[in-house]
Structure 1
């Protein structure tokens, strides 16, 4: 579906952008993830497939990115919403949208995140004062008021971009598809490579040396299953063309099989760690307590560890 973004679409995407930060801070239902943002934005815009491609790409891009304490991070969810909306409305390539819109928007939203945090301190100081006054109903109200800066930090930029940025993006896409075709190809290539960057960051922080065998096995299984299912699907498609009486469903479910195998290994690893923990607790309980004596002067003799 190509064309202008309709107001009802702008409204729904804005409401979701406001909800997703609330969900990320309080509910934590996993709906505040780029892949969900891509699914929802794609459904609203009428192209779920492209939405999932963009959302999945940005999900993999930020896979290894994390923050601690009050640090801000790039807002891949808002980037996914805008990249999906403009990609579908203008016909932009999904990989190009990830690199040209998704990542820049996600980075720029760090500033609105900081603004939301800064503004939120107003309600925090009010709560400090109300605690001294023991005004508990007002404390509860101001606690809930704190969500206002957060949802506005996402909702306002997304609404303004969707409502007034469509013409600019459409003009930019036309230029990228004509005079700056080389730049468009470069952005598409960069967008396709970004998920690999996310994996690299993730592997940097995961205990790869400890679980190197699982890493090798996972890579091997992925390669084998992808090849197997692709060939079976191609064979089934060819058979249906040769024989009209041949019927069968050959779906590319390789990733489902790989995910189930990975889940099996994860369950086994969890059970082993749990058994080790229980064994360590039993040994700790059975450890003899060292005897000690106390003199009249109060000095303690014995185990001083």
Structure 2
């Protein structure tokens, strides 16, 4: 059990450290953490599937400043560990991962808002020396210390709670497990609702309608829909660039004060109107 807990701990630590030390490549998100956990635990397919399911749940969850919502890295690593090593049903592991992510967020907030504040004098010391090596050591060393603390709950969750959780699942009736499976299927809808609540705008509502029609009535796969979305983005961007260039031309002609350019300005404005 200690070995599995240590592997889970190092997996979470790797995701945290890469995320906060190397420019936030979003590896802490469920898709990234699920892939890393799948590679480490020897089941990439399961890792990606769990990561995708949790990504849909937390897709509208954003940490802003001191306000945090859930620690998706810990939840994803725990879910992959429970499913691969302890044989837990995926439909049961996902709701447990959501609960774990919300609970671990308390430790996450404590570390970021309290413990890391004690590192400020060390940062000031490194900056006052003006030595690049001291600043780099402070940066990397602080990252190691902080992310070790962030990954600690993952270790204890596996070391202390994995076996009792697996034994408890063996005692749970199948009807309850089916309820967990149904709940895990509904959770992604909650995540999408949270995302729509932030993004919804009457100007882009037609694109949501287009996506619904493509899925429900045309039966198009997600890859094809994503490709159509990319085409729409490119076309919209090109039109916006063209409109911006036309507006810049109009501004330049008006600022030049050349009366002979009046006809040209009118033509450009007409072209901009029909663009």
Using the size of structure 2 for normalisation, the TM-score is: 0.81
Report matched runs for 1:220-239 at 5 Å.
220-226=213-219
Rate the CA distance shift 1:135–1:29 in 2: closer, same or farther, 3 A: closer
Aligned counterpart, 1:163: 159
Given that residues 21 and 143 in structure 2 are in contact (C-alpha distance below 8 angstroms), is that contact kept between their aligned partners in structure 1?
no
| Match in the other structure for 1:23 | 18
Match of 1:186 in 2: 179
Q: 1:223 to 1:285 in 2, by over 3 A?
A: same
User: What CA deviation, in whole Å up to 9, does each residue of 1:11-43 have, x standing for no partner?
Assistant: 443222112122322423333220222233234
CA distance in 2 between counterparts of 1:257 and 1:72 reads 34
Which aligned pairs between 1:22-101 and structure 2 lie closer than 5 A?
22-27=17-22, 28-99=24-95, 101=96
Gaps of 5+ in 1: 229-253, 291-305
* Among candidates 14, 25, 32, match of residue 9 of structure 2: 14
CA RMSD of aligned residues (A): 2.6
| Cα drift, residue 260 of structure 1 | 1.4
1:239-278 to structure 2, matched below 5 A, reads 254-278=221-245
Q: CA contact under 8 A between 1:22 and 1:147: conserved in structure 2?
A: yes
The aligned residue for residue 199 of structure 2 is: 206
The alignment of Structure 1 onto Structure 2 pairs a total of residues equal to 255
Trace 1:99-138 onto structure 2 (pairs within 5 A): 99=95, 101-117=96-112, 118-132=114-128, 134=130, 137-138=133-134
Larger radius of gyration: 1
Instruction: Verify the 8 A CA contact 1:20 1:32 in the aligned structure 2.
Output: yes
State the TM-score, normalizing by the size of structure 1: 0.74
Q: Runs (4+) of structure 1 moved beyond 6 Å? A: none
Cα deviation 1:267-291 (Å, max 9, x = unaligned): 222222333344444444445399x
Higher relative contact order (CA 8 A, sep 6+): 2
1:165 is paired with a residue of what secondary structure? helix
Mark the CA change 1:48 to 1:141 in structure 2 (over 3 Å): closer, same or farther: closer
Structure 2 residue matching 1:288: 3-state secondary structure: helix
Higher helix share: 2
Whole-angstrom distance in 1 between the partners of 2:127 and 2:82 = 47
Q: How far 1:207 sits from its partner (Å)?
A: 4.0
Pair 1:53–1:67, CA change in 2 (3 A): same
Greater CA drift, 77-86 or 146-155: 146-155
State which of 288, 293, 298 in structure 1 corresponds to 2:255: 288
Paired with 1:88 and 1:44, the residues of 2 have a C-alpha distance of: 11
**How far, CA to CA, are the matches of 2:250 and 2:120 in structure 1?**
47
Higher mean displacement: 21-30 or 58-67: 21-30
